[in-house]
Every structure is written in C-alpha cells, then in structure tokens.
Amino acid sequence: MHVLGVDACGKQGWVGIRLKDGAYAGSLVDLRLERLIERAAEVDAVAVDMALGLVEKGWRAADRAARALLGARRSSVFPVAPRLVWQEQDYGAAAGRCQELTGNRLSQQAWALKPKLLEARACWLADERIHEVHPEVSFSALAGGVPPAYAKKTWRGQNQRRALLAEAGLVLPDELGEADRVPVDDVLDAAAAAWSAHRIALGAAKRLPEAPERDADGRVVEIRY
C-alpha cells in the first residue's frame, strides 16, 4: 500500500513524504501540488496539511474540534474562513467579508495562505484520494492523545516528533533526497500527514468533527487523523 503526505513549504512549493506499507519510501518536492501528486504515481491516499473543505457561513466545526483537542497547542490551528472570503481579490475586502460571515475579521496570516489553499482545494475537488489533515492533530494521536509539549520549530519539539514517527514505524533517514533542502518542521509535518494517509487507506483514521459537517455541495468538511 502506497500513500503520500504533503505539506506546504513556502517558496519551494510542496514537500511530500511517500510511504509503502507504513514505512518511509522517499520524498518529493515540487512547486505545484498537482505535479507532485502525479510524480508520486499510484498512491492509495493523499493527505494534505491545508484547509480543503469550506463552509458558506461561520467557522468550520473541524477547526473548533481540533483546537479543543490540542489544548496548549491550539494556536497551531487557525480558523478557516468561509468560501466567499477566499474569492475576494485583496485583504481589505476579504477581512470585511469575513467579518460579515463570521463576526470576526480575517487575519493577515490566514490571508497569506490563499494561493496555497486555493491550489490544494482545486486538487481536492478533482481527486477523491485527497484528504485534509493537521499535523499537530496527527502527532497528538501518535502520542496517545497527548499534544506535543514543545513547539515544532524548537529542538526538543522536532526531536520529540521524529521519535513519535519512528515509534510508529516511520523512520526518517538522515538523507532524504529532494527534501534535504526543506525546513525540518515542514518535513516532519509531511511525514505526520503521510502517517495519517496510511491510516486513511487502511480505513482506521478518525475524523474531526465526529459528526460530519458538509459544504454547500454536500462534500464532507473534516480533518482526518
């Protein structure tokens, strides 16, 4: 069974970690998500660390559930604005539309994700193998439901996350190939996404929220782990 976990990595585009039967099987880096997935060839599931499903009004139940689950790490989950907000052309208009639809303005940090969010969403709409994940939720599950004690950009946090992956059979080698030039936290997030993708392919993954929320076209809006 082959799966792919993907994380956005700034100007480098996207980093992917491939697994075969739950074990590390290589890395990919590409400017375009669609091309990265194509290069991964035949995979049974693709897990992407990016918001994919969008609601029409209010905040997503998936994000509220993830924040509640993560406790002290809740700030790693940003509330995803409704679909119409991402159709605006500039931040001012988007912030105003978000205020109208949710009661709160959109943050500059969230708006900066627009290009990657829309790119990932387009892939999701076209490929049923793609699922939304959140690495900190996955790492919490890897630790038996206990959120990581240290932030992912810290030395202890990165070592803790790499150890959790290794305990689950996903051993990241010192030399990754294409992903050698990618920041460590992005590699770890892609690996956590890959672990969740493997669980999805096995039919063993859980979901947030437990009771499904659907978008205007009936698609499930959720985070898998």
In a domain, 99, yes or no: no
In a domain, 36, yes or no: yes
Please report, for the domain that includes residue 130, its CATH number: 3.30.420
Amino acid identity of residue 13, one-letter, is G
Helix (H, G, I), strand (E, B) or coil at 21: coil
In a domain, 119, yes or no: no
In a domain, 190, yes or no: yes
Q: How many domains does the chain have?
A: 1
Give pLDDT tens digits along the chain (225 positions): 999 999 999 999 999 999 999 999 999 999 999 999 999 989 999 999 999 999 999 999 999 999 999 998 888 998 999 999 999 999 999 999 999 999 999 999 999 999 999 999 999 999 999 999 999 999 999 999 999 999 999 999 999 999 999 999 999 999 999 999 999 999 999 999 999 999 999 999 999 999 989 999 999 999 999
In a domain, 30, yes or no: yes
In a domain, 133, yes or no: yes
Dump the DSSP string for 83-122.
Answer: GGGGG-SSHHHHHHHHHHHHSSPPPHHHHTTHHHHHHHHH
Range of the domain at 178: 2-53+126-207
In a domain, 224, yes or no: no
